[in-house]
Amino acid sequence: MHIMPKYIFDKENLTYEEYTYSGKWKFARGLAVFAASIAMAFLYLWFYTSVLGCDLPKTAFLKKTNARLNSRLELMNRELDSDAEYLASFQSRDNDIYRSVFGMNEIPEEMRNAGFGGVDRYAYLDAIDRTGLLRQTEERLDVLTRKAYMQSNSFDEVESVAKKAGDMAACIPSVPPVIPDRSIYHLSSSFGYRSDPFSGQKKRHTGLDFACDIGNHVFATADGVVETVRSSSYGYGKYVIVDHGFGYKTRYAHMSEIDVKPGMKVTRGTFLGLSGNSGRSSGPHLHYEVIYKGSYVNPINYMDLGMGVFEFTQVAEKASANTPAGRE
């Protein structure tokens, strides 16, 4: 800063001489000017921000950037809402249709909706995310990613089972357990509630009763593996349980003779033994059950009792030809 010269009158010489400023004075004056400038600057900022309510350029830029990012996050959350609806539709269709058709267990909701346990994965966002929108978005992305991964694995499982659809068809109990000749049997008791032949009380009957002479041939109604062979003087008497896979099992009870052993592979039409009157039975018959996923279901919904004798015999003969290999 240029300092105007100052002159002092010399009375002795009657002349004006230029006054020389000391270094301390110059420093003090400069410091005062600097302090005044700082004070004016702060006063200006205070008036600009507090009185006029304006933002500083950098603050305005950051606010504008933050608003733009929040808009993108809100748009992303709306897209996540749509994606979540699509994923929920896939999950419902997967459980109710695909997995059900192929006899697969449903994936429980608590497993599909399970979150991330342990430490707080999003604690690092607390210092920079005052609204919580960023934390919410990242959490939703993680959950949807996990659900999508589980759904992808489920579809892979369904695809694998679908490729074995032919095997599954062979494992569904779809033929009668006896030769479908009405001259050698009749249905003496259907599936559902009936009067117990011993107590007379109303009781649920868990299968079909094929009334026939002792010694009638009994056949496997689908491909599978013999799970249980039991003999008892009460209850089911002598009986066989075949595990067909895909959630299906069948029971053949009150038999007189059993021709298979646990672990033996059987095919549709394999000879299992002879009907009888063993156990808690009111007369000679074969008690036949279909069990799906641990629950008794009506066998009549699976078998074709109108199947021709010749057609059934061909199935039995084919199974008989394969029986030696199955018993190894």
Q: From the CB of residue 225, how many other CB atoms can be counted at a distance below 10 Å?
A: 14
Average confidence (pLDDT) per 10 residues, the chain, 328 residues: 62 65 70 80 70 64 72 83 83 78 76 62 69 78 84 83 75 92 91 80 89 95 95 92 93 96 95 94 93 92 87 90 56
- What are 271's two structure tokens? 């000879």
- Using CA atoms, how far apart are residues 63 and 69, in angstroms rounded to an integer? 10
Q: Return the pLDDT at 60.
A: 66
Would you mind telling me the total number of residues written for the chain in this entry?
Answer: 328
pLDDT of residue 327: 44
Tell me what pLDDT residue 228 has: 95
87/247 Cα distance (integer angstroms): 27
Helices (H), the chain: 23-46, 57-93, 99-101, 109-112, 133-162, 165-171, 309-327
Residue 187 three-state SS: strand
CA angle 148, 154, 156 (to 5 degrees): 105
pTM, two decimals, is 0.52
- Residue 9 neighbours by CB distance under 10 Å: 9
pLDDT attached to residue 2: 57
Give 217's strand partners.
Answer: 274
Count of C-beta atoms within a 10 Å radius of residue 200: 8
